[in-house]
Structures are given as C-alpha cells and as structure tokens.
C-alpha cells in the first residue's frame, strides 16, 4: 500500500473500531467517581451487537423519512470521519475549505435525525428536535469561528493542512489563541454530543431530554446504527480537539497517531470527569454558555488577526 494512504486508512479503521470504547470509558470514569464498579468497558459494543441481532418495529404513522434517519445519519458520520485529520496526519478526503463540507455533513445528519423524530408525530420528540436545533445552531457558529481562528493563524484553508502546520516547530506565536479555541471546542463537543452540562444521556424523563428523546421510537437495528453514529461523532470531535490541544508533533507517523489516539481516550476520561463533577445547566443557560464559548473564540480571532 502507498505510504501516504497508510496513515489515513489506519485512522479511519481506528475510528470505526475504537469509537464505541469512548462511551465505555466515559461510563467507567463516571462509575469510578460515583464509587461504583461500573459496566464493562466494552459494554457499548455488546449493546450495539445485541441491538443488531434484533428486528425493527415501525409505527404505522411513520413513513420512509423515519427509516431513512438512522441509515443516512450513520453514513454522514462516516463521510465526516473521512475528512478529519488525525493530529498532524492528513485525512483521506482533503481539499480547500473541506471544514465547510464537514460542518454541513454534520448538519445533514442532524437534519435527518430531526425529521425522523418529527415523522413519528410524538410531541416529546418534536420538543427534543426543536431544542437540538436551537443549540446546534449556536454550537455551529462557535465551531466555524474556531476553525476560522486556526485557518487565519496558520494561513491554510483545509483541515489537514491546518492541523499539519498547527504545532510545527517554532509555532508558538499563536499558541494561546489555539488553546482558547480548544477550550471553546470542548464546549462544542459537549453540546454536539449531548453530554452534561448540556444534556444528560442517562436521563429517563422525556421532558428533560434533548438528544435522547429524538430517538425514543427507534429500535433494533436502527437504534444500533444511531448509537454507533453517536460514538463516531464523539470520536470526530475528540479527534479534532486532541489535534488542537496536544502540542506535540514528532513527524513519525505511527508515534503521532498513537499520541492522538491516547489524546482522544484522555478526552473521554475528561468528559467523564466533567460529567461527574457537574450537574446539568438550566436550559436557558445553555445559550449563555455557548455565547461565552463564542466570545472566547472571538477574542482568539482578534488575537490572530492583529
């Protein structure tokens, strides 16, 4: 195999294989903090396999829109994974302004999940869909602003080349700005992946759910696809965050990839710690938190513009 392709392919395989482990790590961390033994690390895999063996039940009120949601959502995630680089290693699909495509593919996935939720006609799902869209719009602004900071700071316009230049040798003049972006990216990660303090993935009350309530009517294979898709989404954001926050580039591909992967796993631990230490914010306060993230990125943007 061509050596240039080797790195990206390994990254995608890693993402496809390890991503459910991230959820397991988060749950294990939370269990440790709560003094419990916790479920096995591989529990998300067992769940997905169990669900894949089951059949799906469809309500008679739903149409093809409902069936399209999970499948298209998962494929969108896989396409998005193709675009993101792993630390300094290029992605398979890299071209100028590819981050715009990535953001909108995530948008498409969200749109399809939301329409599938609305298709059931359940008022709870409609409520969850409306909340999901509201917060996603705000998070998207922060994400674009963050990528803009990196693009202006490095002078590159594709994700791969941005991350390639990011922590090159003698690259410290915009380091504080990059850390600020990483900080706001963490908030985007928590928002997009429906984690505490934005959304509680373990909640059992439909009224308080945001993301979880939208997939209540999916079952069996569909639910497995959705769960796997959300694992991939967590991997995607963690990988982007790890590439930003870890200021190490050795230049040796395997080592860089290892560092990035360890970084991604550490981010899961960190998310678990955040979830153990924080309660959910009031719904009205979530836009304020995203606004804070936005102002932090705006400060970083002004920093790199000077």
186 binds other proteins (CB under 8 A): no
Which of 299, 229, 273 minimizes the C-alpha distance to 15? 229
278 binds other proteins (CB under 8 A): no
Minimum CB separation from other proteins for residue 68, in Å?
37
Nearer to other proteins, 9 or 175 (CB): 175
The piece of 3-11, 63-71, 72-80, 172-180 that touches other proteins (CB under 8 A) is 172-180
Nearer to other proteins, 28 or 249 (CB): 249
3-class secondary structure, 86: strand
Nearer to other proteins, 264 or 296 (CB): 296
Nearer to other proteins, 12 or 299 (CB): 299
**Residue ranges in 284-303 that form contacts with other proteins under rule CB under 8 A:** 287-288, 291-292, 294-296, 298-299, 302-303
Minimum CB separation from other proteins for residue 277, in Å?
18
148 binds other proteins (CB under 8 A): no
Which of 86, 78, 85, 21 minimizes the C-alpha distance to 265? 21
**Residue ranges in 96-135 that form contacts with other proteins under rule CB under 8 A:** none
Please say whether the beta carbons of 144 and 103 come within 8 A. Answer: yes
Give the C-alpha separation, 82 to 206, whole Å. 34
3-class secondary structure, 287: helix
CA angle 59, 118, 121 (to 5 degrees): 50
3-class secondary structure, 168: coil
Structure tokens at 88: 């300094």
Please say whether the beta carbons of 214 and 204 come within 8 A. Answer: no
248 binds other proteins (CB under 8 A): no
Interface residue list for other proteins (CB under 8 A): 172, 175-176, 180, 287-288, 291-292, 294-296, 298-299, 302-303, 305-306
């Amino acid at each position: 195999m061509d050596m240039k392709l080797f790195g990206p392919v390994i990254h995608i395989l890693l993402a496809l294989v390890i991503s459910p482990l991230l959820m397991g790590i988060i749950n294990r961390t939370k269990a440790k903090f709560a003094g419990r033994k916790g479920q096995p690390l591989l529990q998300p895999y067992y769940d997905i396999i169990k669900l894949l063996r089951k059949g799906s039940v469809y309500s008679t009120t739903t149409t093809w829109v409902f069936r399209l949601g999970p499948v298209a959502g998962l494929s969108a995630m896989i396409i998005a994974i193709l675009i993101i680089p792993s630390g300094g290693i290029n992605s398979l699909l890299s071209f100028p302004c590819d981050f715009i495509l990535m953001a909108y593919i995530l948008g498409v996935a969200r749109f399809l999940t939301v329409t599938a939720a609305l298709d059931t006609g359940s008022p709870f799902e409609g409520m969850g869909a409306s909340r999901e869209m509201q917060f996603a719009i705000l998070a998207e602004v922060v994400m674009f602003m963050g990528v803009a900071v990196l693009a202006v700071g490095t002078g590159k316009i594709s994700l791969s080349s941005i991350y390639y230049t990011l922590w090159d040798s003698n690259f410290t003049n915009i380091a504080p700005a990059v850390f600020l972006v990483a900080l706001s990216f963490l908030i985007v990660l928590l928002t997009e992946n429906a984690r505490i303090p934005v959304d509680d993935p373990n909640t059992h009350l439909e009224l308080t759910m945001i993301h979880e309530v939208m997939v209540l009517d999916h079952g069996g294979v569909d639910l497995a696809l959705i769960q796997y898709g959300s694992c991939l989404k967590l991997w995607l954001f963690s990988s982007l965050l790890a590439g930003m926050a870890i200021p190490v580039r050795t230049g040796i591909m395997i080592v860089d990839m290892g560092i990035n992967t360890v970084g991604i796993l550490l981010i899961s631990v960190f998310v678990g710690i955040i979830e153990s230490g924080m309660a959910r914010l009031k719904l009205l306060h979530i836009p304020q938190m995203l606004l804070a993230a936005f102002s932090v990125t705006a400060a970083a943007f002004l920093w790199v513009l000077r």
